[in-house]
């Protein structure tokens, strides 16, 4: 395995990228031709890391790479504790956390991806959420019904049910939550002041909670009237509907590989 870049510190402001945190002890172990690498952390890039491991194994049959998707916070905790060789996190490790790693760390960007709003609303296939209703639906509790006037204004001509909105959030400390709440904090002063950018945000007491991106996707898939957030790949694999979210130009944009591309 060859890693050629040290992460620029400005990378920490990114809202859609995944970082691998390597112990510097990894370098000396690599020189000794290690046979197994153990990692843990963000569920966001887990499918990609599994693909990496499979491809590396083809050229290096004796090398095994294990990765557990336990959430970004878990990845950072494990790298601090020294129980893994590398940790995955969508929110880069902080200076305070780095100071706790006696062996030192390297931060390496590995992937980018989109976090999308996933929902389960029978009969509604192209839900639109404006920048105003976006944050009110997910966390604040100010909009509680799907046929609220605000959502109806976003979706003219669409028959919306009068059922209650069931929010689905992450149960674990999550880089996906960090990405999502960072975006909401940037578009909504109300959200920024009330909740802010967090790996484990405050949420409504009645919110359903799922472990990792797979857990959120599974809950949304089976809970009618639910809405949550998940990495685009998990939404696609679970055949979940993704809302079209209004951008700064006023356009409603659906997530895709093209719209998620950031230059």
Q: Tell me, what DSSP letter sits at residue 243? A: -
Helix axes 72-81, 175-187, angle to 10 degrees: 130
The C-alpha atoms of residue 86 and residue 54 are separated, in whole angstroms, by: 17
Mean pLDDT to the nearest integer, 135-159: 89
For residues 182 and 58, state if they share a domain. no
Q: State residue 64 phi and psi, 5-degree precision.
A: -120, 135
Q: Residues 81, 100: contact at Cβ < 8 Å?
A: no
3-state secondary structure of 121: coil
* Nearby residues of 229 by Cβ (< 8 Å), 6 or more positions away: 115, 116, 117, 118, 138, 169, 176, 177, 180, 216
For residues 78 and 208, state if they share a domain. no
Within a domain: 4: no
- What is the predicted pLDDT for the residue at 1? 20
Q: Residues, the chain, total? A: 263
Within a domain: 197: yes
For residues 230 and 135, state if they share a domain. yes
Within a domain: 70: yes
Predicted TM-score of the model (pTM): 0.76
Within a domain: 261: no
Q: What would the pLDDT profile of 151-201 be if each residue is shown by its tens digit?
A: 999 999 999 999 999 999 999 888 889 989 998 888 888 888 888 898 888
In terms of residue numbers, what domain contains 36? 9-112
Total domain count, the chain: 2
Within a domain: 75: yes
For residues 57 and 103, state if they share a domain. yes
Within a domain: 2: no
The CATH number assigned to the domain holding 211 equals 3.40.190.10
For residues 132 and 225, state if they share a domain. yes
Residue 12, pLDDT > 60, answer no
């Amino acid at each position: 395995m060859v890693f050629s870049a040290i992460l620029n510190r400005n990378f920490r402001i990114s809202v859609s990228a995944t970082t691998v945190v390597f112990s510097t002890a990894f370098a000396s172990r690599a020189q000794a031709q290690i046979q197994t690498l153990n990692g843990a952390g963000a569920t966001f890039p887990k499918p990609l890391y599994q693909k990496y491991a499979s491809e590396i194994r083809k050229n290096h049959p004796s090398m095994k790479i294990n990765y557990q998707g336990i959430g970004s916070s878990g990845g950072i905790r494990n790298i601090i504790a020294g129980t893994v060789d590398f940790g995955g996190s969508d929110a880069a490790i902080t200076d305070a956390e780095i100071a706790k790693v006696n062996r030192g760390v390297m931060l390496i960007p590995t992937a980018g991806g989109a976090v999308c709003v996933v929902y389960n609303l029978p009969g509604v296939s192209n839900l639109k959420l404006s920048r105003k209703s976006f944050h009110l639906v997910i966390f604040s509790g100010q909009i509680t019904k799907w046929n609220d006037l605000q959502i109806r204004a976003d979706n003219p001509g669409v028959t919306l049910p009068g059922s209650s909105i069931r929010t689905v959030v992450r149960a674990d400390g999550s880089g996906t939550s960090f990405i999502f709440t960072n975006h909401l904090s940037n578009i909504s002063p109300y959200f920024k002041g009330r909740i802010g950018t967090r790996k484990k945000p405050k949420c409504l007491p009645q919110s359903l909670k799922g472990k990792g991106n797979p857990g959120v996707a599974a809950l949304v898939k089976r809970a009618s009237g639910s809405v949550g957030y998940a990495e685009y790949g998990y939404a696609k694999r679970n055949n979940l509907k993704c809302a079209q979210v209004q951008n700064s130009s006023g356009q409603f944009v659906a997530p895709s590989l093209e719209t998620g591309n950031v230059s």
